Amino acid sequence: MRFWHKILLAVLTLFIAALDISVIMVMKKSWQLNMESEKKRAASEQLLIANNIYENLDSIRARGNPLTSVLLASVAESYGDYYRRQGIGLELRENGRLVYPQPDGGAAAPEEQSIRLSMPLPDPYQHIELSYQREIGGLYEQQQELNRFFVMINWIAGPVLAVLLFLLIRQLTKPLKQLSETTRTIAGGDYSNRVNLHSKDEFGELALNFNRMASVVEQRITDLSDMAEEKQRMVDNLAHELRTPLTSMQGFAELLTSANLDREDQMKAGSYIRSETVRLKNLAFKLLDLSVLRHRLPELADVKVARLFAAVGQTERLRLEENGITLQTDSSIRAVRGDPDLLATFLVNLIENAIHASAPGSTVRLLAYHQEGEAVLEVRDSGSGMTAEQSKHAFEPFYRADPARSRIHGNAGLGLSLCRQIADAHEARIELHSVPGEGTAIRLFLQLYNN
């Protein structure tokens, strides 16, 4: 049974019951009042008749005539005839004996629909008793008419009320229906659906809170599926990263041992085995770094920027020379707070990426400066840059903006993931700005040492 059905039935039942009970009570009261006034009227009329008879009897007695039954009957008859026409029956008993009307004549009116009163005549005629019987069939008829009218009203008011209630309740419970429909679509998987309800009542409040809840759920679901997607991508990528070098190593080794190769092909196969081994080694070490970093807290210390830059420059000197790229360092702060080894790893990784992205003859800049209370380490190149889409994925493990190119360098695609983990370990913010064709800048926002 639906909620609006229940309300409709409950209200309808209550209303009709209340209406009927009050109407019945009013009718009963009116019946009572009518009866009372009829009785009063009857009593006063009876008294009037009794007085008249008394006076008649008095005057008869004054004339010296004895009061016989016949005389009594004739007196009574003169009144009786008159009142009978008005629907009033009279009876006169002398010492309990009926003298008017004659026991055989004058039909007595039906007992239920009449008022019957008996009283003795005043002194000295107390042995004479006057009975008054008044027809009140009209009253009953009137009451019955009212009853019929009441039933008719019930028959008409009931359905009219039901229809009006139906329309009203439908209107009032519309928001519920809307809420229910929205929850159903959300349960069906469409998390972006919202309740479109702007009333100020409880329903409006419910809708508002519901929408808030739906937003939070949607956000969570999106986050979770993004995370799951990233994980899946990482596993796929790892599988790919492993399969490709393994396939070529296995294949070239097979070729070297079993095939009739010429000298040139032998050299080629050997050098592929070597380069793919290097690639696997890089991958293994980077993965190891990542996993170590996940379980290790950085040892925060006062890191002299000049010394850090010198160490990084020294590490990358050979690679820079090989690629014909100049490293330009510029520092306006003395020290930062961080783990010296991790920060060096961070910068080395970024510089290697910068080298791969840059054309021979260009410059990679390594900067340290102060900005809004934070120390910033920045690596900036004027290389190929990345699109917005590429930048979005840049920090994901195994993501390569330019796969063909970075594989030539034996790059595992883990450099930036490592950088992000180092930043996380320092609770530092990392920012990437890249414009295709213009270059990339990556900034790490660290605590200033003197703070």
Residues of the shown chain interacting with another protein in the complex, contacts defined by CB under 8 A: 236, 239-240, 243-248, 250-252, 254-255, 257-261, 265, 268-269, 272, 275-276, 403-404, 407-408
Q: What does residue 317 show for φ and ψ, rounded to 5 degrees? A: -55, -50
Q: What does residue 339 show for φ and ψ, rounded to 5 degrees? A: -90, 115
Q: Compute how many other C-beta atoms are within 10 angstroms of the C-beta atom of residue 279.
A: 20
For residues 21 and 228, which CB has a smaller minimum distance to another protein in the complex?
228
Q: How far is the CB of 357 from another protein (least distance, A)?
A: 17
For residues 269 and 394, which CB has a smaller minimum distance to another protein in the complex?
269
Q: How far is the CB of 412 from another protein (least distance, A)?
A: 14
For residues 202 and 262, which CB has a smaller minimum distance to another protein in the complex?
262
| H or E stretch covering 116 | strand 114-120
Distance between CA atoms of 439 and 320, rounded to whole angstroms? 17
Closest CA to 131 of 142, 145, 120: 120
What distances in angstroms separate CA 153 from CA 16, 20, 149, 160, 283, one per listed residue? Answer: 11, 10, 6, 10, 91
For residues 20 and 265, which CB has a smaller minimum distance to another protein in the complex?
265
For residues 210 and 252, which CB has a smaller minimum distance to another protein in the complex?
252
- Residue 425 is which amino acid? A
For residues 271 and 314, which CB has a smaller minimum distance to another protein in the complex?
271
For residues 46 and 237, which CB has a smaller minimum distance to another protein in the complex?
237
For residues 400 and 426, which CB has a smaller minimum distance to another protein in the complex?
400
For residues 393 and 407, which CB has a smaller minimum distance to another protein in the complex?
407
Q: How far is the CB of 399 from another protein (least distance, A)?
A: 14
Q: How far is the CB of 350 from another protein (least distance, A)?
A: 25
Contact 137, 69 (CB under 8 A): no
Contact 372, 444 (CB under 8 A): no
For residues 116 and 233, which CB has a smaller minimum distance to another protein in the complex?
233
Q: Which residue has the tokens 């695609």?
A: 413
Distance between CA atoms of 276 and 245, rounded to whole angstroms? 5
Q: How far is the CB of 358 from another protein (least distance, A)?
A: 21
Q: How far is the CB of 325 from another protein (least distance, A)?
A: 24
Q: How far is the CB of 437 from another protein (least distance, A)?
A: 19
Q: How far is the CB of 279 from another protein (least distance, A)?
A: 9
Q: How far is the CB of 287 from another protein (least distance, A)?
A: 18
Q: Which long-range contacts (CB under 8 A, 24 or more apart) does 328-331 make?
A: 328/363, 328/364, 328/365, 328/366, 329/365, 329/366, 329/367, 330/365, 330/366, 330/367, 330/368, 330/369, 331/305, 331/306, 331/367, 331/368, 331/369
Terminal CA-CA length for the chain: 69
Q: What does residue 178 show for φ and ψ, rounded to 5 degrees? A: -65, -45
Q: How far is the CB of 237 from another protein (least distance, A)?
A: 10
Distance between CA atoms of 119 and 135, rounded to whole angstroms? 18
Distance between CA atoms of 187 and 156, rounded to whole angstroms? 45
Q: How far is the CB of 291 from another protein (least distance, A)?
A: 23
For residues 248 and 329, which CB has a smaller minimum distance to another protein in the complex?
248
Distance between CA atoms of 18 and 261, rounded to whole angstroms? 107
Distance between CA atoms of 375 and 334, rounded to whole angstroms? 10
Q: Name the β-bridge partners of 448.
A: 336
Gyration radius of the chain over CA positions: 57
Contact 323, 355 (CB under 8 A): yes
Q: How far is the CB of 271 from another protein (least distance, A)?
A: 10
Contact 335, 306 (CB under 8 A): no
For residues 56 and 390, which CB has a smaller minimum distance to another protein in the complex?
390
